[in-house]
Amino acid sequence: MIHAFDVLVVGAGGAGLYAALEAGKNAKTAVLSKVYAVRSHTGAAQGGISAALGNVEEDSPEWHAFDTVKGGDYLVDQNAAVILAEDAVQAVHDLENRGLPFNRTKEGRIDQRRFGGHTRKFGEGPVHRACYSADRTGHMIMQTLFQQCIKHSVSFYDEFQILDVILDGKKCCGAVALEISTGEVHILKAKAVLFATGGFGRMFKVTSNAHANTGDGPAILARHGIPMEDMEFFQFHPTGIKDMGILISEAVRGEGGILRNSKNQRFMEKYAPTLLDLAPRDMVSRAIVTEIQEGLGIRGDRKIDDYVYLDATGIGKEKILERLPDITDFCKTYLDVDPAEKSIPVQPTAHYGMGGIPTDIHGRVILNSSGEVCDGLYAAGECACVSVHGANRLGTNSLLDLVVFGRRAGIHMADYVKDAETDTIAKDAAGFAGERIAHLVENKKKEQGADIREEMRNTMMENVGVYRMEADMAKAVNTIKDLRQKFKETGVEDTNRGFNTELLDLLELSNLLDLSLITAESAKNRKESRGAHARDDYPERDDDNYLKHTLAFLEDDDVRIDYKPVDTSRWEPKPRIY
């Protein structure tokens, strides 16, 4: 079946919905999502969205932009960070006016809490900058934006999975999707297509990410020769529930929670004397791993299961229940621990991809190192890299990224489609997607997808994790290459068309394999330590050789690396001391 729109938004998380809301004002807009819109991972975001409102104490967008740049270890494009911080204030007020129930101060203003790496006066001490709605901020954003989209007559195609994009030279003219309930392949013609498909944490064994976070958008574009930017930078959040990876929000430390080792020491005093437990996430995750390596972790069942404690008992029962109700539930359900009374066992968990589809500040996808854009092709949210997070994202800056750059992309698309022509779509536009499905359905299955997936996730966790070494990353590259070959020998047993989750799982696995290869190759190539990319063999940051964005091109079984300059027009790179 063929459908036609002005704007097609792929992904119904915060970025997709905000873009749809803006584009929908002036253009025929549809949102397509493989899960029901409000089940997108944005709904799981807990802690908050940053904006220098200054409601609790003095603050300024300039300090926010600086913290973002420094937090990202100077790989942030500074013009983009300034836009992020300056637009934040309006963005949060817009959400408030659209009905988002933020927590309030006694005076009735939006309340704000502390989060890692957010400081007053360029690093003097932590600042209250995160606006929040208990520990359900993302859920509230999703509900608010979804209601607004319905009000503005945006069309939704829920449970449609994008398989391919339709490109005509350097122009995008639509996408190909599978209707999950029927197995039917649809062609979606559009003058502009936005990819807002979210993260890809499922490539790692221990992750906070939802099952749907399989990097479909970036992988689809990578297969069309579009580069992926800075994929070596993957954030490990310091406090995932031990063994499970389920997130315990940084808001717990923002409200006063403290990390402790087996000797009950507040070990962050050693690593970040000023910001302590509220240092940026890359530093705290490394501190936890270092404590464990030095034998100061709490013993798990095996050595690799060692962990540390997050002690929230000092916050007080009443405040915990008021501000962290979901976290309390998670701890009781999964650990049988009441955080008001006992410490929470935590380990770093794969959380957020700083890299992704390269875009300019309007969300237009960039094709190469000279910054050429693809007409009609846009990306926003976690799957994109604009780049405001550089080598390490600060907590609460992602929800902000979604609304600021989702909005900008929506506005740009609405404008672009006014004069853009509707292209005729080639007859075989769905050919590639059809062939991939046919191959999986007709193949004699020799390899199990589940085994390939498990090996991929273990390999990435062990070799491209918090600390990295040349030999380990080389091993990861080889293993992932082998797994990609094995993938060719897999197929489905279930040949039903409707709700064929076996087929969908395999398609997602192939996306994760492609992104794992790009991630491991990009990491191996960057011979320095910066932000979340910490190498034992190259422990220092090397601005002379690596103050540049990686652009990784997937070329069949190999990855070609190129670079793109970093915008450092505002602040000169300095060592990161907290």
Ligand X SMILES: Cc1cc2nc3c(=O)[nH]c(=O)nc-3n(C[C@H](O)[C@H](O)[C@H](O)COP(=O)(O)OP(=O)(O)OC[C@H]3O[C@@H](n4cnc5c(N)ncnc54)[C@H](O)[C@@H]3O)c2cc1C
Least distance to ligand X, CB of residue 128, Å: 15
Dihedral Cα 401, 403, 404, 410, nearest 10 deg? 120
Of 51 and 477, which has the nearer Cβ to ligand X? Answer: 51
Q: Which of 113, 253, 260, 281 is catalytic?
A: 281
Q: Give the chain's length.
A: 578
Tokens of 344: 């929470």
Residues 388-447 that bind ligand X (CB under 6 A): 396-399, 402
Q: Is 138 a binder of ligand X (CB under 6 A)?
A: yes
Of 156 and 538, which has the nearer Cβ to ligand X? Answer: 156
Of 163 and 547, which has the nearer Cβ to ligand X? Answer: 163
Residues 247-276 that bind ligand X (CB under 6 A): 247, 249
Q: Which of these ranges, 191-199, 266-274, 282-290, 439-447, lies near ligand X under the rule CB under 6 A? A: 191-199
Q: Which of these ranges, 36-44, 185-193, 433-441, 549-557, lies near ligand X under the rule CB under 6 A? A: 36-44
Of 196 and 258, which has the nearer Cβ to ligand X? Answer: 196
Least distance to ligand X, CB of residue 132, Å: 8
Tokens of 246: 């389920």
Q: Is 490 a binder of ligand X (CB under 6 A)?
A: no
List 437's β-bridge partners, or say none: none
Q: Is 174 a binder of ligand X (CB under 6 A)?
A: no
Q: Is 10 a binder of ligand X (CB under 6 A)?
A: yes
Q: Is 221 a binder of ligand X (CB under 6 A)?
A: no
Residue 281 annotated as catalytic: yes
Q: Is 128 a binder of ligand X (CB under 6 A)?
A: no
Q: Which of these ranges, 5-13, 20-28, 225-233, 470-478, lies near ligand X under the rule CB under 6 A? A: 5-13
Phi, psi of 185 (to 5 degrees): -95, 130
Distance CA 71, CA 394 (A): 6
Of 136 and 468, which has the nearer Cβ to ligand X? Answer: 136
Give the number of residues in contact with ligand X, rule: CB under 6 A.
Answer: 44
Of 95 and 547, which has the nearer Cβ to ligand X? Answer: 95
Q: Which of these ranges, 27-35, 53-61, 257-265, 456-464, lies near ligand X under the rule CB under 6 A? A: 27-35
Residues 539-578 that bind ligand X (CB under 6 A): none
Least distance to ligand X, CB of residue 46, Å: 5
Q: Is 209 a binder of ligand X (CB under 6 A)?
A: yes
Which position's Cβ is nearest ligand X? Answer: 13
Confirm if 353 and 382 have CB atoms less than 8 A apart.
yes
Q: Is 197 a binder of ligand X (CB under 6 A)?
A: yes
Q: Which of these ranges, 204-212, 272-280, 326-334, 415-423, lies near ligand X under the rule CB under 6 A? A: 204-212
Distance CA 553, CA 229 (A): 9
Of 346 and 547, which has the nearer Cβ to ligand X? Answer: 346
Q: Which of 35, 509, 512, 523 binds ligand X (CB under 6 A)?
A: 35
Beta strands 112-120; 125-131: pairing state: antiparallel
What CA–CA distances, in Å, run from 188 to 10, 121, 150, 388?
Answer: 11, 49, 21, 31
Tokens of 270: 């050693």
User: 68-96 in b/e burial notation, b at 16+ Cβ within 10 A?
Assistant: bbbbbbbbbbbbbbbbbbbbbbebbebbe
Nearest to 74 by CA among 392, 461, 510: 392
Q: Which of 9, 13, 69, 117 binds ligand X (CB under 6 A)?
A: 13
DSSP per-residue string spanning 304-347: GG-BEEEE-GGG-HHHHHHH-HHHHHHHHHHH---TTTSPEEEE
Distance CA 524, CA 521 (A): 5
Residues 229-248 that bind ligand X (CB under 6 A): 247
Of 78 and 133, which has the nearer Cβ to ligand X? Answer: 133
Distance CA 401, CA 381 (A): 6
Beta strands 548-555; 558-565: pairing state: antiparallel
Confirm if 54 and 88 have CB atoms less than 8 A apart.
no
With a CB cutoff of 8 Å and minimum separation 6, the contacts of 106 are none
Binding site for ligand X (CB under 6 A): 10-16, 32-35, 40-42, 44-49, 137-138, 161-162, 196-199, 208-209, 212-213, 216, 247, 249, 352, 381-383, 396-399, 402
Active-site positions read 281
